[in-house]
Amino acid sequence: GMAAANRIFKNFKNKMKLAITLLALVGAASAFAPQATYSRPSMRVFGEEPPEKGAGGMADTRDPDAKDDADPRKSISAAPSFEEYLKSRAE
């Protein structure tokens, strides 16, 4: 009667503890497994140089060409030469 039911319950509890422990171990191991990374090969046409990628992965926008726009906020003035820049720094 009662003793048999108690024994079955204890056995069940032990099996559950074992199952939970195993699941925890498997979960912990998978956390350290190397992740598969799928990167498509870069599509580069020979002779066509795409904009250089900067440190943040964005296309480099330094040294843009001068541009006049009706909206002065969108206008870009011509950059000084390096010599002109150094002279302006010296002043």
Per-residue pLDDT tens digits for 23-34: 887 777 666 666
Phi first, then psi: what are they for 66, rounded to 5°?
A: -65, 145
pTM of the predicted model over 0.85 = no
**What number is the average pLDDT over the span 25-54?**
63
How far from 79 is each of 50, 54, 83, 86, CA to CA, in Å?
22, 20, 11, 13
- According to DSSP, the residues that pair with 59 across neighbouring strands are 53
What amino acid occupies position 63?
D
